[in-house]
Amino acid sequence: MSYCAPVGQIDFILRHVVPYDQVARTERFAEAGFDTANAILTEAGKLAANVLAPLNRNGDLTPARLENGKVRSSPGFAEGFRAIAEGGWVGLAADPEYGGVGLPQALNMAVAEMMAAACLSLQLNPLLTQGQIEALEHHASDELKALYLPKLISGEWSGTMNLTEPGAGSDVGALTTRAEPNGDGSYRITGQKIFITWGDSDMTENICHAVLARLPDGAKGTRGISLFMVPKFIPDENGNPGVANDLRVVGLEEKLGIHGSPTCVMSYEGATGWLIGEEHKGMAAMFTMMNCARLGVGMQGIGVGEAALQQAALYAQERNQMGPIIRHPDVRRMLAMARAELFAARCIALACATAIDLERATGEADHAARAAFLTPIAKAYGTDTGLRAADAAVQVHGGMGYIEETGAAQYLRDVRITQIYEGTNGIQAMDLVGRKLADGGEAAMRLLDEILDGAKSAQADHPDLAHEVWQSAETLREGTQDLLEREIPQRFAGAAPYLTAFARVLGGYYHLLAARSGGEAEVGLARVFIRRVLPHFATDLTEALAGLEDLANLGDDVLTGQSGA
């Protein structure tokens, strides 16, 4: 398996599709112009292709394992992680005060995509560490920042996210993990957490767990939850790993894919922890971490889909059946549609990242609203698209795609988890039609206005494509207005198809922008998306507006297959 980082396409998107030029003109990111961005992307691409990609198969064939209570990583993973850490990639967007580089999230997310494409199992480690860095920067005390941020940013220590518990699933408010004050500013943490990605490893000196728990006076539900820093080794007076904390790895989950990433069951047995942020405000701090991770997971889906598609296209060039199969119309259809959707998903994700950067650089509410609105779309559409691309890659391989030795199946198995990570895509969709439309649709309508104006201005260059994009945006505007007039349960019934409809209209718009600024390749890909993918938005929107009644009135016996004679 070979992987070539799509540096040229990412550079093109930053220059011509998303407003990265506005980011680079801000005082905060003035040193991150296009030349700097291209240099960073080029170096990250080399690391991904030359150092990380060769490790991907190792993780699948020789998974992480638990020996005597300690996790042993897959062959080469420790060296790969050190290359990431020593290159400064963990702290690419982190605060320079604590050793970070302070670059825009747009570049950080582009780098994340490339590293995930090369080896998703390994890249999950720095992704979670970056999320924890983000949470600490925004919520932790100065003492915790000074102690933990330099170590996390340097990659000497790594970070995790501990939310889920047995039986609780996505209902975080049902957690039972307890936190009891020790009287010296620390707390005793007791409980069990599951699905903890990289909950232990032999790659870093210390593992820092961000753990949700409830104080004795904490209210029921999410409003009574606090967040705690619980390190594997308690730092000594010099800030170095000291005595072992009272926590342990109970076991590793057996998973469909990402075998190189140890997914741990963690037991906290009166472990010592320190409060991150305010008491009973743990979800606010955790959401800071999760929102960073949500966009990052969207990039993971795009990255794995990209790697899978590259391999499939190479196979199609080399596989002869009445000539190279890449010349067969249906093979070309599969490759072209997957390529067009990946481009659209990448644009959406980078547009979200630039909105985050502009909000951080300017503090303007409009940028914050756009970033918030685009986050669930970027996460869900990026991972849905990644799965479709990996599935198409297996199909292009034919029977050989189902044979493990080609590696095509690994991409499909690995990428599947991204639709579940950081809130399932159904939860992302409900967030979109619930909280993100709670402003009366203001953020959505501003984005649709931009698409409508952009499509009008493109009429002279590409009238046929511009008309299709304009019409889809106008229809989506009407559908959004209809949705806004409905009660939340009605919205939830059509949330997932609504999110997909919005993503496809956005994708059509970004393809149109690319066609206006690019050459024959960009125009050709835009035609594929706008003529073959974009039309599906209409059926998505029809489903989104179908309401709840047909679902609510369907008996459970029908859903379980127990109805009838």
Distance CA 285, CA 279 (A): 11
Nearest to 123 by CA among 134, 131, 112, 132: 112
Is residue 371 a contact partner of residue 356, using CB atoms and an 8 Å limit? yes
Residue with tokens 């922008």: 513
Instruction: Measure the CA angle with vertex 401, ends 397 and 402; round to 5°.
Output: 150
Residue 304's contacts (CB-CB under 8 Å, 6 or more residues apart) are: 116, 117, 120, 386, 390, 411, 414, 415, 418
**Is 422 one of the annotated active-site residues of the chain?**
yes
As given in the structure block, the two tokens for residue 121 are 């199992």
CB neighbourhood size of 418 (10 A): 30
Do 11 and 41 meet the contact criterion of CB atoms below 8 Å apart? yes
Tokens 């619930």, located at residue: 434
CA distance readout (Å), 411 to 112, 288, 408, 417, 515: 17, 29, 6, 11, 30
Please state, in angstroms and rounded to a whole number, the distance separating the CA atoms of residues 344 and 514.
10
E-strand ranges in 319-398 read none
The residue annotated as part of the active site, out of 422, 450, 520, 549, is 422
d(CA 263, CA 198): 6
In angstroms, the CA 18 to CA 502 distance is 17
Residue with tokens 């990289």: 198
Neighbours of 405 (CB within 10 A): 8
Look at residues 191, 183, 186, 198 and name the one whose alpha carbon lies nearest to residue 213.
Answer: 191
d(CA 159, CA 312): 35
Rounded alpha-carbon distances, angstroms, from residue 309 to 226, 391, 402, 408, 490: 42, 9, 15, 9, 37
Element (H, E) at 248: strand 247-252
The residue assigned the tokens 């998306």 is 529
For the annotated catalytic residues, the residue numbers are: 422
